[in-house]
Structure formats: structure tokens, C-alpha cells
């Protein structure tokens, strides 16, 4: 993990704590050093750096890498959050943050990105459940040999559910991951998309409703 933070009073205890949690930490204190560091598996990125600001570091990293990036920010206003996430950051924590919360966020980001990266490191093999095949790199869904024509959001929905067949995904989590983050609005649009995907897959049983909770992809028979 790459920790990019110029403030020693934050970086020192944070590095030690994260190491105790089993993370391998490389710490740098400028944007330039962050760009020159070896490709990490996760980046914790302070926004206020002495040379290049964190937004710019994020933008440049995103140009060449899909590494999970979490912003550490002292600026809590909404605009900054939105801008940060539009740049392709995966999440953010606002200083002063609790250590437990940060560790939970890091683990969540890594977990979310895991299947995509696993597919990438796996020579790009699509994820399969029974006759359903989801290729996240090519953004294609094939069922029984025939390609299914999905809208971008429908694809994202299926691509999320297929990462853990049989596991229930909460409505709120699906909304956050497919429609944007954070999500506080109504989730009716999710039902509309699920109905459409079921129709296109030709069998409503592919996506099971877990009443009051969310949805899951039918696990392998």
C-alpha cells in the first residue's frame, strides 16, 4: 500500500497502525514521489500535498492504472467529495478519521475491486456461473453461447452480482456501486433494471429478490 501524506503526525502513527493490521506500507510525502513509486495495490492519498495536489496525483495515476485510491482529506465540503470521486477515486475519509473506520474502508475498496483485478491478472478470463459468462474487460455478457444486449447500467448490475454468486447484495450497496456514491435517494430504478435484466436473460430466476434486503445472482447448481 502506498501512503501519500506530508504530515508526519498523521503518517507515522498511521503507517505503524496499518502495518500492525498486516498491510505492507510504502510512505511518501509528495505527489512527485507518489508518481515515481512502484505500482502499489492500494493508494491512500492526502489531498493537500506540498507539490502536486492529491486530485492531480489521482488523475495521473488513473491515466495508467486502476489501482484502488482512497482520499484522505481535511476538506469535508460536498464539492470536493464529488470532484474527488469523479476523478476516479474509490472512496475518501475525512480527517480526523477513526483508524477502525479507515481500515474498514480500505478492506471494502480492495474487496470491491478484487474480482475485476483478479480477472485482469487472470489473463482476463470472464467470470462464469452455469451458462452465464460475464466479461468485465470487454463488457460483454454471454448466455448459452449467445450475447445478451444490456444497457451500461444493466451490465454494471450483472457484473457486480456475478462477483459473488449466491451472496445477497443490499439495495443501497448496489445503488452506490452502480449508480454513484454516496446514494441516499429512492431505489425504484433498481427494480426497473432488475426486471429488464431478468427479461433479457430469459429466466427471472437468474436474479433472486431477497425481500427487504436486496438481490443475489442464483448460485451455481
Q: How many CB atoms sit inside 10 A of residue 13's CB?
A: 11
Q: Can the peptide bond before residue 182 be classed as cis, meaning omega within 30 degrees of 0?
A: yes
- Sole window of 1-9, 11-19, 83-91, 177-185 interacting with Ca ion (rule: CB under 5 A): 1-9
- The residue number whose beta carbon is nearest to Ca ion equals 48
- Sole window of 5-13, 75-83, 105-113, 194-202 interacting with Ca ion (rule: CB under 5 A): 5-13
Nearer to Ca ion, 7 or 21 (CB): 7
The least distance separating Ca ion from the CB of residue 51, rounded to whole angstroms, comes to 11
Q: What is the spatial distance between Cα 30 and Cα 8, in angstroms, rounded to a whole number? A: 12
- Any residues with CB less than 8 A from the CB of 133 and at least 6 apart, and which? 126, 127, 141, 142, 143
Taking the alpha carbons at both ends of the chain, their separation in whole angstroms is: 38
> Contact between 6 and Ca ion (CB under 5 A)?
yes
Q: What is the spatial distance between Cα 32 and Cα 212, in angstroms, rounded to a whole number? A: 48
The least distance separating Ca ion from the CB of residue 147, rounded to whole angstroms, comes to 48
Query: Which of 100, 102, 33 lies closest to 72, judged by CA?
Result: 102
- Sole window of 2-10, 32-40, 53-61, 112-120 interacting with Ca ion (rule: CB under 5 A): 2-10
The least distance separating Ca ion from the CB of residue 13, rounded to whole angstroms, comes to 15
Instruction: Lay out the site mask for Ca ion across 119-158 (x = CB under 5 A, - = otherwise).
Output: ----------------------------------------
* Interactions with Ca ion, residue window 19-78 (CB under 5 A): 46, 48
Name the one residue in this structure whose C-alpha cell is 434486503: 213
**Residue ranges in contact with Ca ion by CB under 5 A:** 6-7, 46, 48
Amino acid at each position: 500500500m502506498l501512503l501519500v501524506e506530508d504530515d508526519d503526525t498523521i503518517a507515522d502513527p498511521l503507517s505503524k497502525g496499518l502495518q500492525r493490521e498486516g498491510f505492507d506500507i510504502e510512505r511518501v510525502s509528495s505527489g512527485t514521489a507518489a508518481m515515481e513509486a512502484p505500482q502499489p495495490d492500494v493508494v491512500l492519498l492526502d489531498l493537500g500535498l506540498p507539490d502536486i495536489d492529491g486530485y492531480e496525483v489521482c488523475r495521473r495515476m488513473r491515466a495508467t492504472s486502476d489501482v484502488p485510491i482512497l482520499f484522505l482529506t481535511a476538506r469535508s465540503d460536498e464539492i470536493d467529495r464529488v470532484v474527488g470521486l469523479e476523478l476516479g477515486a474509490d472512496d475518501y475519509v475525512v480527517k480526523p478519521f477513526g483508524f477502525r473506520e479507515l481500515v474498514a474502508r480500505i478492506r471494502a475498496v480492495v474487496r470491491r475491486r478484487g474480482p475485476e483485478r483478479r480477472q485482469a491478472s487472470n489473463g482476463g478470463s470472464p467470470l462464469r456461473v452455469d451458462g452465464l459468462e460475464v466479461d468485465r474487460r470487454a463488457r460483454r455478457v454471454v448466455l448459452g453461447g449467445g450475447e445478451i444486449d444490456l444497457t451500461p447500467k444493466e451490465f454494471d448490475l450483472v457484473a457486480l452480482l456475478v462477483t459473488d454468486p449466491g451472496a445477497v447484495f443490499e439495495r443501497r450497496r448496489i445503488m452506490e456501486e452502480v449508480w454513484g456514491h454516496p446514494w441516499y435517494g429512492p431505489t425504484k430504478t433498481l427494480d426497473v433494471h432488475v426486471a429488464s435484466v431478468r427479461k433479457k436473460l430469459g429466466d427471472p430466476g437468474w436474479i433472486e429478490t431477497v425481500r427487504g434486503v436486496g438481490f443475489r445472482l442464483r448460485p451455481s447448481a
